């Protein structure tokens, strides 16, 4: 029997020295959703809260309904023993774009299956872009496709993914 994790919620009211309201922070499972009485955008939220992608130098640069783009520059730390971009880097780049496009619906959507095909190697100094589209915007199990390209427009990897939409809303102030 698995352990069921209940979400934790924390609301903090922040006041000035004269006791007037300065702001409110709202956290779900330790993730900041609202700060200073305003929600953050989906792009701000994912760029900050996806700590692995962030520490890898990956950033979302565009989100709109059914579409998301993430970008990065291949650095020395991204290379494998063959001196080419490590496969996990392609996957992390695509995964961030999938997370963004899947959650534009406003419902918490988590990945349940992904597949990747490596088509062309990337090298130190290359600029990689992952463009994700929601091909089947199903209510419960959406299907996404991602093309990872280099600065010349060459396809380096193709990623497909399925998500699972939960009942919980994702609260954000716009996509960008």
List, for residues 112-161, the tens digit of each pLDDT value.
999 999 999 999 999 999 999 999 999 999 999 999 999 999 999 999 99
Beta bridge partners of 111: 163
* Residue of higher predicted confidence among 27 and 104: 104
Q: Would you list the domain boundaries of the chain?
A: 1-39, 41-169
* Residue of higher predicted confidence among 107 and 155: 155
Question: What is the reported pTM?
Answer: 0.80
The CATH number, out of the four listed (3.30.390.50, 3.40.50.2300, 3.10.129.10, 3.30.930.10), of the domain defined by the range 41-169? 3.10.129.10
Pick from 29-38, 79-88, 101-110: least confident: 29-38
Token pair 């007037």 is found at 20
If 0-12 CB within 10 Å is exposed, 13-18 middle and 19+ buried, where does residue 16 land? exposed
The answer to whether 128 touches 92, Cβ cutoff 8 Å, is no
Whole-number Cα distances in Å, 91 to 34, 107, 118: 29, 23, 10
């Amino acid at each position: 029997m698995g352990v069921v994790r209940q979400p934790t919620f924390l609301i903090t009211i922040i006041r000035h020295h004269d006791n007037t309201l300065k702001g409110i922070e709202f956290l779900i499972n330790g993730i900041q959703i609202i700060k200073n009485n305003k929600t953050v955008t989906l792009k701000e939220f994912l760029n900050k809260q996806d700590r692995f992608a962030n520490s890898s130098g990956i950033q979302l640069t565009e989100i709109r309904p059914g579409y998301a783009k993430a970008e990065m520059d291949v650095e020395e730390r991204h290379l494998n023993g063959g001196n080419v971009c490590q496969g996990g880097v392609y996957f992390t780049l695509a995964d961030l774009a999938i997370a963004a496009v899947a959650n534009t619906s406003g419902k918490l959507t988590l990945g349940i299956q992904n597949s990747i095909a490596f088509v062309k190697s990337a090298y130190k100094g290359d600029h990689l872009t992952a463009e994700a589209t929601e091909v089947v915007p199903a209510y419960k199990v959406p299907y996404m496709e991602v093309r990872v390209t280099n600065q010349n427009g060459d396809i380096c990897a193709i990623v497909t993914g399925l998500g699972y939409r939960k009942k919980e809303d994702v609260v954000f102030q716009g996509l960008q």
